[in-house]
Chain A
Amino acid sequence: EAGVTQFPSHSVIEKGQTVTLRCDPISGHDNLYWYRRVMGKEIKFLLHFVKESKQDESGMPNNRFLAERTGGTYSTLKVQPAELEDSGVYFCASSFREGDYTFGSGTRLTVV
């Protein structure tokens, strides 16, 4: 089966611009998660979707971040406007049930 796919793999944008990251989960996985790793820090939870509903968005840093999962399939994470501290690697993961996480390769975002 195809794994979790993330687009783009790298993105370099200027401060103040908008960036949209996309995640295609494994087909049939209702649970979709976004995590972020800032350089040298831990991988931090951002939010959790169950189908199209936000189950837990307690990790979203601020209102410049907007995640959507229309139709319960792929998800997008938009950062608008981007700030320097948003740089990092954004990971998406999906699972059929609790514990069976499969991570994507991540999107490395650099804000300059």
Chain B
Amino acid sequence: GQNIDQPTEMTATEGAIVQINCTYQTSGFNGLFWYQQHAGEAPTFLSYNVLDGLEEKGRFSSFLSRSKGYSYLLLKELQMKDSASYLCAVRDQAAGNKLTFGGGTRVLVKP
């Protein structure tokens, strides 16, 4: 089976930086995804990592260390619209390449 852990909730100030950590255990790692989900809406894709290192996309970056079973999503220059849940998901080749999601981290951005 798989185990994916991420914090339940984080609070940060507008303009600041927040780092959301995700740790996982899986037998056939084949990629890690980050999704953003605003309240009452569907998740939308943010980033994908399959090799170690940092992937940068504008204000958002995602990092992966396969040896440590660890990823983080970095949100820079926070805006009020970044208040949302952020979901970490791992794809497992040993499980038919389906995604398993963590419980999500709710980020609240305050003025």
- Answer whether A and B are interacting partners: no
Residues of B within 8 A of A (CB): none
Chain A contact residues, CB within 8 Å of chain B: none
